[in-house]
Amino acid sequence: MNTVSVVGVGLIGGSFALALRKAGFTGRIIGVSSPAAVRAALELGAIDEASPLEPAASASDVIYLAQPIEQIIETIRVIDAHVRPGKLITDAGSTKLTISEAAAKHLRRGRFVGGHPMAGKESRGVEQAEADLFRGRPYVLTGRDAGLESWIERIGARLVFLDAAEHDRLVALTSHLPQLISTALASLIVDENKAAQVAGPAAMELTRLALSPYEIWRDIFSTNAAGIDAALGAFIGKLEELRSALRDPSMERRFEKAAAAARELRK
Q: Which of residues 218-257 bind its own copies (CB under 8 A)?
A: 218, 221-222, 225, 228-229, 231-236, 238-243, 246-247, 251-252, 254-257
Looking at residue 88, what DSSP letter applies? E
Is there binding between residue 25 and its own copies (CB under 8 A)?
no
CB of 95 to its own copies, least distance (A): 12
CB of 164 to its own copies, least distance (A): 13
Q: Which is nearer to its own copies, 24 or 201 (CB)?
A: 201
Closest CA to 144 of 122, 161, 125: 161
Q: How far is Cα 42 from Cα 61, in angstroms, rounded to an integer?
A: 20
What Cα–Cα distance (Å) separates residue 73 from each residue in 50, 97, 98, 130?
A: 21, 11, 8, 26
CB of 101 to its own copies, least distance (A): 17
- Read off the amino acid at residue 162: L
Write out the binding residues for its own copies, residues 137-156 only, by CB under 8 A: 137-138, 140
Count of Cβ atoms closer than 10 Å to residue 99 Cβ: 26
CA atoms within 13 A on the CB side of 175: 20
Is there binding between residue 69 and its own copies (CB under 8 A)?
no
Q: How far is Cα 61 from Cα 89, in angstroms, rounded to an integer?
A: 9
Q: Which region among 1-9, 66-74, 80-88, 188-196 touches its own copies (by CB under 8 A)?
A: 188-196
CB of 231 to its own copies, least distance (A): 8
Write out the binding residues for its own copies, residues 34-63 only, by CB under 8 A: none
Q: Which is nearer to its own copies, 79 or 228 (CB)?
A: 228
Is there binding between residue 136 and its own copies (CB under 8 A)?
no
Selected from 1, 23, 42, 206, the binder of its own copies by CB under 8 A is: 206
Q: Which is nearer to its own copies, 35 or 249 (CB)?
A: 249
DSSP 106-144: H-SSSEEE-EEE----SS-SGGG--TTTTTTSEEEESS-
For 113, phi and psi rounded to 5 degrees?
-130, 115
- Residues in contact with 190: Cβ distance below 8 Å, sequence separation at least 6, in sequence order: 196
Q: Which region among 27-35, 64-72, 104-112, 118-126 touches its own copies (by CB under 8 A)?
A: 118-126
As a three-state string, the secondary structure of 182-201 is: HHHHHHHHHHCCCHHHHCCH
Q: Which is nearer to its own copies, 23 or 170 (CB)?
A: 170
Three-state SS at 175: helix
Is there binding between residue 217 and its own copies (CB under 8 A)?
yes
Is there binding between residue 104 and its own copies (CB under 8 A)?
no
Is there binding between residue 173 and its own copies (CB under 8 A)?
yes
Q: Which region among 17-25, 49-57, 148-156, 160-168 touches its own copies (by CB under 8 A)?
A: 160-168
Q: How far is Cα 220 from Cα 96, in angstroms, rounded to an integer?
A: 10
Stretch (H or E) spanning 6: strand 3-7
Q: Which is nearer to its own copies, 85 or 213 (CB)?
A: 213
Selected from 120, 127, 132, 152, the binder of its own copies by CB under 8 A is: 120
